[in-house]
Structure 1
C-alpha cells in the first residue's frame, strides 16, 4: 500500500524512511506541515509490532504536532520521528549517531527532540551528526530550577495545569480527594502523578513496567492497577500518558471518568469518538492542547525569553482549554472538533 493511500496520511509534505544495517536502526521521519515554520517534534523509540504500526504512529504524531504548535501560537510546523525497537534492549550510542545522520539529511525541515524512549543524552549523541536538535541545553525552567534541556517537566506541568482547569470546569471542585487514573509513568506521567499527589489527588496508576508502578505506589500512596484494568477503574479523571489510541471502540464504554485529560498524543483512535464522549457527558481535553508544555519550553529556549515568560505561556494552556470548552458547550460540538477548527484557521491560512 502506498503511503499516499494510508488512512492517516493527511497531505504530509514529506515521509522519509531510514535503515542502517550496522547499528540496526530502522526509523521514519514525517513532516506534516511547515506553513508556520520548520517542523519540530520529538523522536520516539518504541517496540512497535511492525513497520506498519510505526508508520501509523508517525503520521498521526506529526499531524498532531502541527495542530499543537498552531494552538500554542508558535511559529513552528509539525513533524515527528519514530525508531523501531525496545529502548531498554536495542538502543546504542552508535544507533543514536546514525539517527542524527538521518535527521541531517532532512536539511533543517525537521528538528528533533526527546520523546518516549529517548533521553537528553540520546539527543546529544544525535547532535554529533546533526545541528537540527533541541531539548539538550536550556537557559530557563518554568519553576526557576536548574534547566537541563529536558522538556518533560514543562510538559507535565502543562498537563497538570490543564487537568486542574478541566476538573474545576467539569466537576466544580479542586483536586483534593479527586480520583485520577494515570496510565503510563514515564518521563511525563510520573511527574504529572507527583503534581497531582502534592495537590491531594488520589492516584490509581499503571504502566507496562512493574518497577514504575511500584515507585508510584511507594512515593505517592497510589493504588496499583494492571494495564488491562485501568479503563475499569472507578475514578473521576482518566489521564492517558502512554501510547496513543487508548480511547477506542473497545475501551470508551469502560471509562467511567467524567474528565479525560492526559499527556499522551493521539488519544482518540478516531476523531468521531469525540462526539461519543460529548454524548456521554465526558469532558475531553484535546491532547495536543493540554500536552503542549514541552514544545512551548523548547520554543522559549530557542529565543530571547525568561523563565517567567515561559511559565506564563505554559499556564495559558488552561485558558485555551476553557475557551474550547465554552465554544463546545455553546455550539454543541465535541471539544476535538472545536480545537481542530481553531488550529486549522491558524496554519492553513498563513
Structure 2
C-alpha cells in the first residue's frame, strides 16, 4: 500500500547562503531548479574572477615567463564595443624604432597570445639586424578568429589605440590573419601603418615569399654550386599567402611539389592553379622524402618528435619561430639537415614595408635588389656554421646579436 508523503517546508537559509534573496518556500522541483540555477551562477562568477586574476597574474609576472627576453615594453589593450583584445610588444630598439606585423589568431587563452607576441617581437629584432634595416623588433597580436571576428570597426579601433599609445615607437602591417585590404582600413586611423598597396608598391606577402625563394637558391648555390631547381622535390606546409606563392615559384622553376593545408577551399584553389601539385595530410607532410621541407604555416612546427620523422636535406620556409626550441636546432645539425633560420629567410616582407620609411620614399627596384640579396646572408650563415661546427640557428643569432647589441640609438 502506497502512502502519501507531505512536501516538507525547507528554509533556503539552510541550503543556500544567499537566503536574503528568498522567502521560505516549499521544497519542490521548481524551488530546487532555482537553487541549482543560482549555484551555477555563483560558480560562473567565481570562475570568471579566477580567470581574470590568472590573466593579470600572468601579465604581472611577465618577467618570469621563459619567452620574456628583457623586452622593453609589453602592453595589453581592449575595446569592448568592437570585441578587440590585443597585445603589443617591443623587444629592442637599439637599431631604431620598433617595427613588425600584426597577427590575428584565435588563441586559446590570453596567456598563449602573450607568449606568442613575446616570441614574435624578439624574432623581429634579430630579423631587422640581419636584414640590414635600421629598426628594432616589435609585434602585435589580435586575439580572435580572423574569419568570423574581424570587422572594419575592430581594425580601426586597433589602429587608433596604436596611434594614441605607440605612434612614434612602433609601426606595423600585415601578418597571419590580416590582408593588404585590412592595413588599408587601419591606415585611415594611423599613419604609422605600413605596407599599404599603392602605385608601384609591391605586395608584402609576395616579397616575403621571394625572400624564401631567394634563400632556397642560396642553399643550393652553397651546397651544389648551382641553383637549378628542375627535378628537385619540395614539401610545402601551408597554402596561405606565402605558401601558395612559393608553390608558384617552385613549379615555374621545374620543381616537383607536394603540399598540405587544413583549409579545403585553399586546397581546391591550389589544385586548380597547379595541376601537377600533390596534396597530402598536414599530419604527414613533414615525413615526405624530399630535398627541401618548407614550413609556411604557424610556428613551433619542428619539435623533438617531428625532427625524428623528417626525410629532407634542407629546411627553408616562411613560417615564424619554426623551431620549438634551440635544442631542436642542435638535433637538426647532428642529423645533417641544414636549417635556414626562418627570420632570415622570410625577411623580404620586412624589407618591403620599411622601405617606404626610407629617405626619398619607397622604391620597388631597391626592394627587389635587397630581397634577392638575402641569399648572400644565407650563404654567410652556412659557411660560418660549417667553419665553427655550430647549428645554423645559433650562428644566425650570434651574427644578429653582434649587430644590435653593439649599436645603441642616441
| TM-score (normalised: structure 2) | 0.81
Report the alpha carbon displacement of residue 222 of structure 1 after superposing the two structures with TM.
1.0
Question: 1:47-86, aligned counterparts within 5 Å?
Answer: 47-86=106-145
Match of residue 329, structure 2, among 274, 278, 301: 274
Tell me the secondary structure at the aligned position of residue 272 of structure 1. Answer: helix
Measured in 2, the distance between the counterparts of 1:168 and 1:349 equals 31
Q: Counterpart in 2 of 1:323?
A: 380
Report the alpha carbon displacement of residue 185 of structure 1 after superposing the two structures with TM.
1.1
- The structure whose Rg is larger is 2
Report the alpha carbon displacement of residue 138 of structure 1 after superposing the two structures with TM.
4.7
Q: Counterpart in 2 of 1:117?
A: 177
Q: Counterpart in 2 of 1:159?
A: 212
Measured in 2, the distance between the counterparts of 1:234 and 1:212 equals 23
Provide the alpha-carbon RMSD of the alignment.
Answer: 1.4
Report the alpha carbon displacement of residue 139 of structure 1 after superposing the two structures with TM.
5.3
Measured in 1, the distance between the counterparts of 2:81 and 2:235 equals 42
Measured in 1, the distance between the counterparts of 2:215 and 2:346 equals 8
Deviations 1:246-265 (A, max 9, x none): 01112111111110000011
Measured in 2, the distance between the counterparts of 1:219 and 1:126 equals 31
Structure 2 residue runs of 5 or longer lacking an equivalent are 1-57
Question: 1:20-31, aligned counterparts within 5 Å?
Answer: 20-31=79-90
Report the alpha carbon displacement of residue 349 of structure 1 after superposing the two structures with TM.
0.8
Tell me the secondary structure at the aligned position of residue 307 of structure 2. Answer: coil
Q: Counterpart in 2 of 1:177?
A: 231
Q: Counterpart in 1 of 2:248?
A: 194
Contact 1:296–1:313 (CA<8 Å) still a contact in 2? yes
Q: Counterpart in 2 of 1:143?
A: none
Q: Counterpart in 2 of 1:11?
A: 70
Measured in 2, the distance between the counterparts of 1:270 and 1:263 equals 17
Aligned length, in residue pairs: 343
Report the alpha carbon displacement of residue 193 of structure 1 after superposing the two structures with TM.
1.0
Contact 1:155–1:293 (CA<8 Å) still a contact in 2? yes
Measured in 2, the distance between the counterparts of 1:102 and 1:224 equals 42
Contact 1:170–1:259 (CA<8 Å) still a contact in 2? no
Do structure 1's residue 237 and structure 2's residue 297 form an aligned pair? Answer: no
Q: Counterpart in 1 of 2:369?
A: 312
Report the alpha carbon displacement of residue 124 of structure 1 after superposing the two structures with TM.
2.0
Do structure 1's residue 214 and structure 2's residue 214 form an aligned pair? Answer: no
Contact 2:295–2:318 (CA<8 Å) still a contact in 1? yes
Deviations 1:20-78 (A, max 9, x none): 11111111111011111111100101111221221111111100111001001110010
Tell me the secondary structure at the aligned position of residue 238 of structure 1. Answer: strand
Report the alpha carbon displacement of residue 123 of structure 1 after superposing the two structures with TM.
1.4
Measured in 2, the distance between the counterparts of 1:244 and 1:170 equals 26
Report the alpha carbon displacement of residue 171 of structure 1 after superposing the two structures with TM.
5.4
Contact 2:194–2:354 (CA<8 Å) still a contact in 1? no
Report the alpha carbon displacement of residue 129 of structure 1 after superposing the two structures with TM.
2.2
Measured in 1, the distance between the counterparts of 2:203 and 2:386 equals 36
Contact 1:103–1:112 (CA<8 Å) still a contact in 2? no
Contact 1:205–1:216 (CA<8 Å) still a contact in 2? no
Q: Counterpart in 1 of 2:154?
A: 95
Match of residue 350, structure 2, among 274, 291, 295: 295
Greater Cα offset, 260-269 or 168-177: 168-177
Contact 1:170–1:258 (CA<8 Å) still a contact in 2? no
Contact 1:182–1:189 (CA<8 Å) still a contact in 2? yes
Measured in 2, the distance between the counterparts of 1:306 and 1:108 equals 23
Deviations 1:276-308 (A, max 9, x none): 101000011011111100111112222235332
Report the alpha carbon displacement of residue 150 of structure 1 after superposing the two structures with TM.
3.1
Q: Counterpart in 2 of 1:262?
A: 317
Q: Counterpart in 2 of 1:144?
A: none
Measured in 2, the distance between the counterparts of 1:300 and 1:110 equals 15
